[in-house]
A = this chain, B = another copy of it.
């Protein structure tokens, strides 16, 4: 379908994705295309040759991230201890997110069909990880895959409020939240889970 890029074009594409991820992480969605191009060491026009709009560039970054998560998820579905596997998945996700904060991805709306697709795939993986963990008694009975999907980004989110925080601070809040997901000492939940995502 898509023919392979010329070697230099492929290289530029890679440079651009990296530069854009860095810029977006530092400046948020307001990072300018000009700055991204400069950081990548290419002309502004080249950005638009590779990504028709700024949003497309964003979508490509998000796609990369979710793809990586999906790979980790698939692997962990095979793990021996389902509870540990789920915690490991959340750890991988938070670690990845810590590398470069892309929390604004949510603001970016629907982005692309392709992003929607891999995101759905990722959601499916999480659901299966959670189902397995629940069956093994590692998470409480009243918690669903959708719950975990939503809570997944919370550790990074809450630590983003602390200016000079240790880069590993998210581990603390992932632990607290994961404790909240365990069966021990669980109180009944006052509201049913959402159907989606």
Contacts and interface: CB of A to CB of B under 8 A. Distances in A.
Interface of A: 28, 30, 106-107, 143, 147, 150-151, 153-154, 157-163, 165-166, 168-169, 171-173, 175-187, 189-194, 196-197
A190 B172 contact: yes
A162 B185 contact: no
A112 to B, nearest CB: 17
B162 A153 contact: no
A168 B190 CA distance: 9
Nearest to A181: B176
A185 B176 CA distance: 11
A44 to B, nearest CB: 12
A30 B153 CA distance: 23
A189 B161 contact: no
Contacts of A143: 176
Nearest to A185: B184
Contacts of A166: 191, 194
A52 to B, nearest CB: 14
Nearest to A163: B196
Given A179-B187, A184-B184, A172 B151 contact: no
A133 to B, nearest CB: 15
Contacts of A187: 175, 178-179
A151 to B, nearest CB: 6
Contact of A28 (B107, B154, B183): B107
6 contacts: A106-B160, A150-B173, A151-B176, A171-B190, A180-B180, A180-B181
A186 B180 contact: no
A30 B108 CA distance: 13
